[in-house]
Amino acid sequence: MGVTRLSCILLLCFLLFATNSMAAEIHGRSSTQLLWYNNIFNNRSEQDIAQYLQIGITNIDKDGKLSIYGYGRGSQDLSNGNGLDGRLYYLYVDYRDLFGKVDLRAGRQFVNIAAGNALIDGGKIELKNVGPVALTVLGGRNVIFGLNGELSHSDDAVFGVAGDLVGFKNTDLEMGYFAKWTNGSDGPARETLGGMFKQYLFNSLKLYANARYDLYGEVFSEVLAGVKYFPMSNLILTGEWYQSYPTFDADSIYSVFAVDRYQEGVFRADYRLNDMFSVNAGYSRQDYGEDGAADVYQLGCRIRPIEPLEFNLSYDKRSGYNGSLDGGIIDVTYDATKQLQLAAGLQFDVYTRQDIETTGHEIARKYWGGAKYKLTKNMNASVRIEDDVNPEFTNDWQGRAVFNYDF
């Protein structure tokens, strides 16, 4: 909580500083939201009001190199009177092109390299324009959110370093190292090596791959390899193979449990006939190791019979491990006027589950409807209401009303 209060004070100081700067520009979005839903833990109807604020301050200095960005939320439970809850997602200072070679970022920020990612209170340094490899170094306090606030300890930390290949038009390559320390751990609780690769060939082919190797478990925790082929401008063929092996921190009790490797092979085709009609189809094979496998078929289309009306239809069929499913989604949007858009939809699933004794198929349905109205160029309001009907709930109503102001 102390970190959040300090960050809010810093944000206020930054705003005052930027306001006094003739060159500074302040832009962002304020989003006020009212939410109502059923609490799954006590089956009670609850209402929350939340205020989101996203802000960017640019052109603070005459060269336009210094910027400040922030995003946070404050919410109030209107049903139980639990008090105001705040959450700061990011607040950082960004300075670019120091000496034409260095980008600096300090504060709460999301960092992502091929070897890992985290939300940190810390810093990131990027060294560029020094040859064929750009270097990134990052580190700081690891920020972990729980249901009722931050769960981080004072000595939770992360560190990462990555090198990116630059100067090659059709090739992207990154290699990196990522480490995490948890409260009371002797040495890193997790160390990961990672890589990312993309290659474009013949103006119609894209090869890509991502991999992460867990040094503690001595196993590849994630591997993705794929190819996209563009035989025509309106046709995309995709083939992917993905593998995941659960890994845990060295000081976690779960690290002693046996786990299964998950693998999935995917083929997908996307075809756009014209502005009125497009279709997609796919097949995936899901392998759960010793537990078995499943086959999944997907089919979808987008239809725009007239300019203001659009239908999105999808159908899924799954059979194999842990049961079967047949289901579909219909989503309709209609631009009633230039300011008003209406939307409605239906999801219908028929399924069986191997782990629960049933007398036959179970059915789940979801209905939703909503509208969005553009009040002015920088203000809009929207509402969405949905109801779930399934074996667990006769009715499960939830909704959201939103007012957005862009500045």
> Is a pLDDT exceeding 80 seen at residue 110?
yes
pLDDT at 239 (0 to 100): 98
Kindly list the distances between the CA atom of residue 397 and the CA atoms of 381, 383, 386, in Å, as whole numbers in the listed order: 20, 14, 6
The confidence band for 199, taking pLDDT boundaries of 50, 70 and 90, is: very high
Amino acid identity, position 277: F
* pLDDT (average), residues 115-141: 95
Least confident of 81-85, 111-115, 238-242: 81-85
Cα Rg of the chain (Å, integer): 25
Mean pLDDT, residues 129-145: 94
- Tell me the mean pLDDT in the region 165-192: 90
Picking from 27-36, 43-52, 118-127, which range would have the lowest pLDDT averaged per residue? 43-52
Separation of alpha carbons 88 and 407, rounded Å: 20
pLDDT tens across 311-346, in order?
999 999 999 988 899 999 999 999 999 999 999 999
**Nearest by Cα to 329 from 287, 282, 368, 296:** 368
Distance separating alpha carbons of residues 349 and 353, to the nearest angstrom: 13
Q: How far apart, in whole angstroms, are the C-alpha atoms of residue 383 and residue 399?
A: 7
Residues 375-390 have a mean pLDDT of: 95
Mean local confidence (pLDDT), 177-188? 86
> Residue 176: phi, psi to the nearest 5?
-155, 170
Least-confidence region, from 101-110, 205-214, 349-358: 349-358
Distance CA(164)–CA(173), nearest Å, equals 6
Is the whole model's pTM more than 0.85, yes or no? Answer: no
Can you give the three-state secondary structure of 219-272, one letter per residue?
EEEEEEEEEEEEEECCEEEEEEEEEECCCCCCCCHHHHCCCCCEEEEEEEEEEE
Highest mean pLDDT: which of 22-31, 36-45, 199-208, 248-257?
199-208
For residue 22, name the pLDDT band (cuts at 50, 70, 90).
Answer: low
Query: Residue 365 in contact with residue 386, Cβ under 8 Å?
Result: no
**382 Cβ neighbours under 8 A, 6+ residues apart:** 370, 371, 372, 373, 401, 402, 404
What are the start-end ranges of the E strands in 6-101?
Answer: 25-39, 44-58, 66-77, 84-98
Q: Which residues pair with 166 in a beta bridge?
A: none
The pair of structure tokens assigned to 111 is: 């960092």
- pLDDT reading at 9 higher than 70: no
Domain boundaries, the chain: 1-87, 99-228
Could you give the dihedral angle defined by the CA atoms of residues 245, 249, 253 and 254, in that order, rounded to the nearest 10 degrees? -10
What is the rounded distance in angstroms from the CA atom of residue 247 to the CA atom of residue 259? 9
CA distance 20 to 255: 54
Residue 140 contacts residue 152 (beta carbons within 8 Å): no
Measured CA angle at 273 (ends 270, 279), to 5 deg: 40
Q: What is the pLDDT of residue 319?
A: 93
**In sequence order, what are the beta bridge partners of 303?**
277, 311
| CA neighbor of 269 nearest in space, from 278, 280, 260 | 280
For the chain, what percent of residues have pLDDT higher than 90? 70
What gap in Å lies between CA 35 and CA 258, rounded to an integer? 40
Residue 81: per-residue pLDDT:
66
Range from 11-20, 124-133, 257-266 that averages highest in pLDDT: 124-133
Q: Is the dihedral of CA 11, 12, 14, 15 positive or negative?
A: positive
pLDDT at 14: 54
Q: Look at residue 201 in the predicted model and tell me its pLDDT.
A: 95
Residue 350 clears pLDDT 60, i.e. is over it: yes
pLDDT band at 231 (very low <50, low <70, confident <90, very high): very high
